[in-house]
Structure 1
C-alpha cells in the first residue's frame, strides 16, 4: 500500500510543474552596459577602530544595518563548533534585558535582527532606527552568555549533528571542503559530536572575548537616515566597545593533487551519488581575472542555460541539475562543479563533467554563448541592486577587499569587455581538469566498481577511499556474504511474522490510511485505500483541496489532476497489479534476493520485487524498513527512496506510521494519523 505514496508524490510534483512553456532558444540581445550609480558612503572611524559606512537613501522609510568583523579565518581545532554555539547564544537577550523581553521588543517594532559569531544585522522602519541600533549594540556588546542558554544551544547543536548524519548532500559538502582544503585548515575543519561535547561555557566566553573585537569591524548603515544623526548614535552605542588582541592563526598552504583522482566516501543509504569536481584556486575580487572568471563560470555551470546543466540534465537525464561555482577569497578559494546523479550513471556523469571542463579549456566559447552569458549576468546584477543588502555588501567589499572606489560603477563595463580569449585563458588557469579531486559520496556497493574501471582519454583515474571523517582507508568490502539457507521466501515469511503473523494478515481485506506531510509551508494530505482483491486508490490534497487522484480498479486505472484524466499505460497497469495489495509480499512470486546492504546503520536484505523496485528487510527485526523505486518522468529517470519507521499495531497487525520519501533535493515526511482495517472501503472508491 505504501508504494502508492511514491507514485503519488512524483505525479504531484510533475503536474504542479506544468506551466506555460517559454521559448528560451532565442535570448534577448545584449545592449550597452547600463550606467551604475551607487551612492558613495560617508565614512568615519571610532577611536576603537570600528569603521562606519553610511549611505543615505530616502526612497523608503526603512533602514538596514550590517555589522561585520573582518577577522582572518579561525581554526578552532578541538574546539570546533565553538563559533556556532557563540553565534547561537548572541541575540538571546543581554545582561540587563531578558531574552523574552529583548525579542518581544524587536518583534513589536516590526524589525528583523540576527546575530552570528562574526557580527549582526537588522532591518527596521526609520522611525525606530535609533532604538533598533541600540538593541543591536546591546545584543552584540553585552550578551547574556549564561549556563542555561549554553546548555540549550549545545543540546540543539548535538541534535542537528545527529539528524544530519544520514543526509548525504550535507555530508558531501563537508567532505568536499575537508578534502580540498585539509582538515587542519579553517575552511576544511568540521564540527563533530566529540568536539561539541567537550565545549564549556568558558570556551564560548573565551571565543567571544578573543574575536568579537572592533579593530577589524565594519558597520554599514543604509536607508532613510542622516549621517550626522548616525554618527551620534553609533558613538553613543558602540563607543565603549573595547579592543582585544586577536590570537595568532597560521593557515597551512592548500595544495591541489598531482593528478586527477576520485576520492570516494561510502554512504550505504545513498540512493544517488553526490559528485563534485573541485580544485583550490587563488582569486580575489581585485584581480584582473575576476571578471573573465565570472563569465566563464556562467557559461560552464551558472544556471539552467549553462553547459553542465544542458549536458547532464537536458541531454543525458542524469540529474535534476548540474552547476559550478568559482569562489573568490583573500586567502584561498576553490572551483566546484557538482551534481546529484543516479547511482547507475555515476561513472558516466564523471566523464560528462570532465568532457565539459576539457572543452571550455581547449576550445573557445562561441560569440553567442559569450553574449548570452553577459546579458544574463547584467540582468542579475541590475536586479540585485534593488536590495539594500546588496548595496551594503558592495560598500563593505570595497573596504575589506581593498577595491577601487569605482569598482561597482565600472562593473558592467568590465563584464562587457570580456572576450572569448579571456574565457579560455582563465578556464585553463582555474579549472584544473588534470589536477582535480573528483569527490564522490554515494553507495559503494553500486558505484565503486564502475569508478575503479574509469578511464579518460585512455588514462586510468585512480580511486582513493576515505571514511566520512575524511581519513584515508583501504577499499571496503561491499559484497557481504549471504547464508545459503536464506531465500526470498524466508525473508517474506519473517516479515509477515514480524508484523503479526499469517493468520492476522490473511484476515485483512482492505486498508485505509490517512497521513499528512508539509510541503513548502503547506499541509499535504494523503489518503490511500487498497484491497486484497487488487484495487487501489490514492488521493492527495493541499490545504484541504484535492490536487490529484490515482485510481486502479484491478484491470484499468487513471490519474486525475488539474482537470485532466489520464488513463494508465500498459506499463502502469502492470506496476499497479504488482502493488495493489496491502501486503505485496503475499503475492510476489518473481522477487529475487540481491544481497545484504546497510540501511541507516542496520543490516538489511535487499529484495528486488521487480525491475524497478527494491525492498529492504531488517535482518534483526524482519520488518520492511526501506523501498527504492526507479521511475521515469519525461527524459529524467529518478531514484525515489522511502523509509518506513514507527511500526504500530492496528487490529493485530503492525503498520509503519512514519514514512519519509526523498526525491532530488526534496524530502516529504509523512506522519500517519489513522489506519482503518476492513472499514470505510467500497467498490465506489475505485471507479
Structure 2
C-alpha cells in the first residue's frame, strides 16, 4: 500500500597537493611523539573518597567526574532496580526540588548528569563552586519520591515492550546471556516482571548499599586551583557516610565446549544478527593488552579491517562487519565478531567470520596491516588528548586498574613496539574458532536449512536452539499446512472484506495520510495522497524540509530529491503506478497471477504468504485476514536487499480499516511511522499532483 524511501548523506573529500610525492610508498613513520600528561594532584577524605585534581588554565571551564568503582551487581528477581536508581538520581535533592534544580543548572549553562554509580558535571570555572555543591547535594541527598518512581518505572517498562519483537535488541541480550549465563550480572535479563517486582524501598536500599564512598573517585579537571578544590570538596562531600558495598558472588562464566551455532528464531527478522563470541580474561594491566587491541583492530576494528573488507567489500553480504574485545578486572569479558546480514547469506557469513578468526590466529598478519593498525591507534590517541574527559578517564584508569604511572606517557612507544609475532600470539590466546559460540538470531524458515549444513575445517557445526530469553528450545517446525479451500483469491477477498468490503473501497475517490517517525532525534514526516484517477503524491520531510518527493498524474510523473527534479521514465512510471493504487488488492484480483506460497510466522502470528511478483511478497494474518507485512527485493548499491514494510494498529476511518503503524526496514535502517491523520474523500485536490 505504501512504499517508503531511505536516504543517505554524501560526503565529499578534497585533497590538495603542493609537491610531487611517490604515492606508491607508504611514508616512513616518525618517532613516537612525547606525551606530556599532567599528573593529577590527589587527596582523600576520611570517608574513603579519593580526589584527583588536574589544573588546566587554557580555557575557563571545569569538568567533574564522580565514579564508583564497584563490582557488578546481580539483581536477580528485581533486575531493573539499578536502572531505576540511576534514572531517579539527579532529580533535585531533599533541599531543592527537581524543577528548581534543573532550572538553576540550565541558567548556569552547565551540564549535570547522574547514573546509578556515577555523576558528571561541566561548567564555566566561575560557576564551579555552585555546580560542585549541586552535584554533592543531589548525590548525597537524593530526592526519591513515589511519583517520580512510578514515572520512571512506566518509562522503563514501555522501553522493554518496544524491544519485545526488536530483533537487534533480542539478539544482543541473548548473546550476553549465553556468554555469561543468566545468573551473572552481565547475562541477566531485565523484564517487565522483574521491574514490577521493584519498589521504591528497593531503590532506596540499592542506593544506600552501593552509592558509598569506599570505591569512589572524584576527578576534577580544568581552570581551577587545587587548594580551592580541596576546600570545596571537603566541605561538600565530608557528610557522605563512610561505608563499603556488599560483597557478592555469582556463577563463573564458561566457554562453549565446542564450536556451535546457537539459533534464536525470530519470524519477523528481515536480516540475521550474527555474533561469533568467546570469553576472554583480559585486563588493562596485562602485558599483552595492547597486543590484543592491535590484533582486534586488524581483524575487525573498522572499515580497513579484514572482516569489513571480506564480508562487505568483497562479498557484499552486509553493510559492515566488526569485532570487539573487552577487558574487565572483575572477571571474564568477551571477544565478539559481528555482522547483520541478508537472510540468504547467513550461513555463508558464519563461515567467513569463522575463517577470518581462524586465519588471524594461524597465519602472521602483514607488515602493512600492522602499520595501518598502529597508525589508527596513534591518531585516535593523540586526538583524544584534546578532550578533558579523556584526561579524567586516563587518571581514573591508572588508579582503578592498577596501571603504572607512566602507562599513558609510554602508550605510543609501546604501541609502536608491538610486533607481528605479538599480534599472532594475542590472536591465538584471545580469538577462538575451536570453542566459539556462534549466536544467530534470524528468520528460521529462510536461514535454518542452510545453517544446519555449515562446516568448519571439514566438520559439521552443530546447531542448538534457544528462545528469546536464552532458554533451550526445540527445533522450530515450519510445516504449517494450508487448509483445504484456501487460495490466493480467497486470501485477497477476505482482506478486502475485513477492511471494509469492495463496495466501500470502490467508493473511495481519494485519501490523504500524514505519518511521523524519528530519525536520529529528528522528526521525519511522511505525507501521502492518492486518488482513483492514477494520481499519487508522496512527500518525505525532515524537520519540515522536503527531502524526497514523488508525484504521478496520469501518464506523467517526477521525483525530487534534495531539490533536484527528475522526470520518471516509462518503466519507473509503470512500477510506481502499481504502488500508487489506493487499495492494490483490488488490482491483484483483476490482474491474477498471484500465487499462495504457504503459511509462515510473522512475528507471533501465522500468515498466508502470497507471491505478487518475483520481487514482492505479501503476508496476510491467518486469523484476522489483515495485511501484516510486505517484502520487496530491491537493488541498492549493486547489492540485492530486502525492504520490509510491516502494518499494525488497524483503526477504522470512514468505515474502512487502515494501519496506523507502519514499520519500514531496510538493512540496518528501521523507521516506526505512526499515522497521525487519515482523510477519506477529503483533503486532496488537483494542485497536490502538479
Moved more, 596-605 or 141-150: 596-605
Per-residue CA deviations over 1:454-493 (Å, capped at 9, x if unaligned) read 1122110000111111111221212322212211111111
Moved more, 182-191 or 397-406: 182-191
Per-residue CA deviations over 1:622-669 (Å, capped at 9, x if unaligned) read 221222222211133332222223434444333223322123333323
Moved more, 138-147 or 258-267: 138-147
Aligned residues of 2:219 and 2:396 also touching (Cα < 8 A): yes
Distance 1:40 1:374 in 2: 25
The corresponding residue for 1:613 is: 616
Aligned runs of 1:197-596 on 2, under 5 Å?
197-330=196-329, 331-532=331-532, 534-552=534-552, 558-562=558-562, 564-566=564-566, 572=572, 575-588=575-588, 589-596=592-599
Distance 2:407 2:632 in 1: 52
Distance 2:56 2:244 in 1: 36
Alignment TM-score, normalising by the size of structure 2: 0.93
Aligned runs of 1:186-201 on 2, under 5 Å?
186-201=185-200
Distance 1:580 1:671 in 2: 20
Q: How far is 1:153 from its partner?
A: 1.8
Distance 1:543 1:148 in 2: 34
Aligned residues of 2:213 and 2:244 also touching (Cα < 8 A): no
Distance 1:347 1:409 in 2: 45
Per-residue CA deviations over 1:146-202 (Å, capped at 9, x if unaligned) read 322222222222111111212111221111111001111121112122211111122
Moved more, 360-369 or 663-672: 663-672
Per-residue CA deviations over 1:597-622 (Å, capped at 9, x if unaligned) read 33342332222222222222222322
- Cα separation, partners in 2 of 1:222 and 1:552, compared to 1, 3 Å: same
Per-residue CA deviations over 1:250-299 (Å, capped at 9, x if unaligned) read 23322211211001111121111110000000111111111111111111
Aligned runs of 1:16-95 on 2, under 5 Å?
16-17=9-10, 19=12, 30-95=29-94
For 1:610, what is the secondary structure of its paired residue? coil
Aligned residues of 1:532 and 1:581 also touching (Cα < 8 A): yes
Distance 1:483 1:502 in 2: 24
Distance 2:475 2:102 in 1: 52
- Cα separation, partners in 2 of 1:674 and 1:217, compared to 1, 3 Å: closer
Aligned residues of 2:298 and 2:370 also touching (Cα < 8 A): yes
Aligned residues of 1:318 and 1:637 also touching (Cα < 8 A): no
The corresponding residue for 1:665 is: 668
Per-residue CA deviations over 1:377-428 (Å, capped at 9, x if unaligned) read 1111111111111111110000000000010011111111111121111111
Aligned runs of 1:76-225 on 2, under 5 Å?
76-225=75-224
Aligned residues of 2:546 and 2:562 also touching (Cα < 8 A): no
Aligned residues of 1:488 and 1:607 also touching (Cα < 8 A): yes
Q: How far is 1:363 from its partner?
A: 1.8
- Cα separation, partners in 2 of 1:682 and 1:90, compared to 1, 3 Å: closer
- Cα separation, partners in 2 of 1:181 and 1:518, compared to 1, 3 Å: closer
Moved more, 429-438 or 606-615: 606-615
Aligned CA RMSD, in angstroms, stands at 2.4
Residue number among 600, 605, 608 corresponding to 1:602 in the alignment = 605
Distance 2:425 2:84 in 1: 43
- Cα separation, partners in 2 of 1:195 and 1:371, compared to 1, 3 Å: same
Aligned residues of 2:358 and 2:432 also touching (Cα < 8 A): no
Q: How far is 1:562 from its partner?
A: 4.2
For 1:425, what is the secondary structure of its paired residue? helix
Q: How far is 1:365 from its partner?
A: 1.4
Per-residue CA deviations over 1:212-236 (Å, capped at 9, x if unaligned) read 1111111111111111111111111
Aligned residues of 1:528 and 1:538 also touching (Cα < 8 A): yes
Q: How far is 1:316 from its partner?
A: 1.6
Aligned residues of 2:47 and 2:243 also touching (Cα < 8 A): no
Distance 2:569 2:637 in 1: 14
Distance 1:159 1:686 in 2: 40
Residue number among 640, 643, 663 corresponding to 1:640 in the alignment = 643
Per-residue CA deviations over 1:539-591 (Å, capped at 9, x if unaligned) read 33334433323345666765432454556577645533432311111122222
Aligned residues of 1:515 and 1:671 also touching (Cα < 8 A): yes
- Cα separation, partners in 2 of 1:640 and 1:395, compared to 1, 3 Å: same
**Consecutive unaligned residues in structure 1, runs of 5 or more:** none
Alignment TM-score, normalising by the size of structure 1: 0.94
The corresponding residue for 2:655 is: 652
Aligned residues of 1:158 and 1:196 also touching (Cα < 8 A): yes
Q: How far is 1:25 from its partner?
A: 10
Distance 1:617 1:200 in 2: 42
Distance 2:152 2:677 in 1: 35
- Cα separation, partners in 2 of 1:445 and 1:554, compared to 1, 3 Å: farther
Aligned residues of 2:80 and 2:194 also touching (Cα < 8 A): yes
Q: How far is 1:531 from its partner?
A: 4.2
Q: How far is 1:2 from its partner?
A: 0.9
Aligned residues of 1:30 and 1:374 also touching (Cα < 8 A): no
For 2:213, what is the secondary structure of its paired residue? coil
Per-residue CA deviations over 1:22-55 (Å, capped at 9, x if unaligned) read 8999977643322211110000111111111101
Aligned residues of 1:626 and 1:641 also touching (Cα < 8 A): yes
Distance 1:544 1:181 in 2: 46
- Cα separation, partners in 2 of 1:570 and 1:255, compared to 1, 3 Å: farther
Distance 1:605 1:148 in 2: 46
Distance 2:533 2:349 in 1: 43
Distance 2:473 2:656 in 1: 44
Distance 1:681 1:200 in 2: 52
Per-residue CA deviations over 1:515-559 (Å, capped at 9, x if unaligned) read 333333433333334444545443333344333233456667654
Moved more, 601-610 or 111-120: 601-610
